[in-house]
Structure 1
Amino acid sequence: MSKPVSSEQSLNYKWDVCLSNMFVQSTVGLGIGIISSAIMFRRAAWPVWGGLGFGLGKAYADCNAKLRTFPSIHQELQSNKTEEKK
């Protein structure tokens, strides 16, 4: 059986995933904005900022969804219910 993970470690892991996800998605959005600005919009600045904004917004939505889930509590409740039935 695996060693139980504390809630502090679980939260730290989720924050690490959120921050790395934010970095990657904002970089991808920025890159797409730069490429589209150079190719289609004659070097305008708004596609760059728009791409960065989309990347940050997507990262925020993913992080919000990840931090609002509580799988450890749900699993604990499920295991308690199965033990009570036995």
Structure 2
Amino acid sequence: MAGVKSDFVEDRVGRVWDKCIIDTTVKLGGGILLGSVLTLLFFQRRKWPIFAGAGFGVGMAYANCEREMNNIIKRS
């Protein structure tokens, strides 16, 4: 019984939440990194490119998570 994969909606939602947390962490880190590089190279050490990069990363992750959650709702 340990190898049986359940197909409950709650399990699918849990897997999507796990993906969303990982995706948000990666995209937030990438946005901060890209913003940091841009501010060091082009924007004379201002802070707004770092915040903008973080915002874009979180926004992209939110859009991906919303799409995945909507797909689960449509399927069930």
Q: Secondary structure at the match of 1:44?
A: coil
TM-superposition CA deviations, 1:29-82 (whole Å, max 9, x none): 100000000010010000000000000000000000010003653xxxxxxxxx
User: Displacement, 1:6?
Assistant: 1.2
d(CA) in 2 for partners of 1:17 and 1:40?
34
SS in 2 for 1:55: helix
Which runs of 5 or more residues in structure 1 are unaligned?
74-86
Which residue of structure 2 lines up, in the alignment, with residue 15 of structure 1?
17
Distance across 2 between alignment mates of 1:60 and 1:28 = 15
Aligned residue pairs, count: 72
> Within the alignment, does 1:28 sit opposite 2:30 as a pair?
yes
Offset of residue 4 of structure 1: 4.3
1:1-86 correspondence runs (5 A): 3-70=5-72, 72-73=75-76
Q: Distance in 2 between matches of 1:31 and 1:38?
A: 11
% identity of equivalent residues: 29
Which structure: larger Rg?
A: 1
- Give, in angstroms, the shift of residue 5 of structure 1: 1.2
Q: Which segments of structure 1 move beyond 6 Å, counting only runs of 4 or more?
A: none
Matched residue SS, 1:66: helix
The two structures have a TM-score, normalised by structure 2, of: 0.87
What amino acid is aligned across from residue 25 of structure 1 in structure 2?
K
Supply the RMSD in Å over aligned alpha carbons.
Answer: 1.5
Q: What TM-score comes out, normalization by structure 1 length? A: 0.77
Q: Secondary structure at the match of 2:44?
A: coil
Higher relative contact order (CA 8 A, sep 6+): 2
**Structure 2 gap segments, 5+ residues each:** none
